[in-house]
A and B are shown apart, each in its own frame.
Chain A
Amino acid sequence: AQSVAQPEDQVNVAEGNPLTVKCTYSVSGNPYLFWYVQYPNRGLQFLLKYITGDNLVKGSYGFEAEFNKSQTSFHLKKPSALVSDSALYFCAVRDGNQGGKLIFGQGTELSVKP
């Protein structure tokens, strides 16, 4: 069965420092990987995805993510964090063999302090 793990419930970063939010996955078919962000009382906003090709994918708001097949990881990164990046981040996998639904991790709360 497909699954996603986000090992950190919370990540704290100072503004201007680089940030990393970790994600590992397990899927039987080809992994299609996604990151979403959620602000309080809002829906999920799409940030970026990995489908195929270059292992480093770039997305919205300066975020990027690195796909590592051998480590089954898809960590979200940003070179310089902003206070406005503070939110809940979800990693998800979409298995092409399972009807295309997304399976989400538990989420990581990112807190960026001035």
Chain B
Amino acid sequence: DTGVSQDPRHKITKRGQNVTFRCDPISEHNRLYWYRQTLGQGPEFLTYFQNEAQLEKSRLLSDRFSAERPKGSFSTLEIQRTEQGDSAMYLCASSSPDVQRSIYFGEGSWLTVV
């Protein structure tokens, strides 16, 4: 069990550029979640997948954001035309579908938009 892996850990980008984050979940987990966390706040739910199906998207996930999990394994979160308000830590988590089981988080990907 290698844990949830996220890449890159830090990204600085200019406003208007596109960025992509990758998440590799724990291998036997078929649920994958994306959260956003800004300084001083709790993590906010963005979206989740069960296998390759995206089952729920938050209203926070504007049309500039797109998440994919094409083969039901790793996932990508792309932000197009970044804005300064997108600066945050993007957290990925995974779990089994049993809601009594725990959800495990990666170390997060910090995004700074300048």
Please state if A43 and B95 are interface contacts (CB–CB under 8 Å): no
User: How far apart sit A101 and B48, CA to CA, in the bound complex (Å)?
Assistant: 8
Tell whether A102 pairs with B107 under 8 Å between CB atoms, given A44-B43, A90-B43: no
Nearest opposing residue in chain A for B31, CB measure? A100
Name the one of A45, A95, A104 contacting B42, with C-beta atoms under 8 angstroms.
Answer: A104
Q: Do B42 and A43 touch (CB < 8 A)?
A: no
One of B13-21, B79-87, B98-106 contacting the partner = B98-106
Q: How many residues of A contact B (CB 8 A)?
A: 26
Cβ contacts A to B, 18 pairs, < 8 Å: A32-B99, A36-B105, A43-B4, A43-B105, A43-B107, A43-B108, A44-B91, A45-B105, A49-B102, A94-B99, A95-B99, A99-B55, A100-B95, A102-B33, A102-B93, A103-B45, A104-B43, A106-B41
Q: Which residues of A contact B107 (CB under 8 A)?
A: 42-43
Q: How far is the CA of A102 from the CA of B94 in the complex (A)?
A: 11
Asked whether B42 lies within 8 Å of A107 as measured between CB atoms, the reply is yes
Which B residues are in CB contact (< 8 Å) with A107? Answer: 40-42
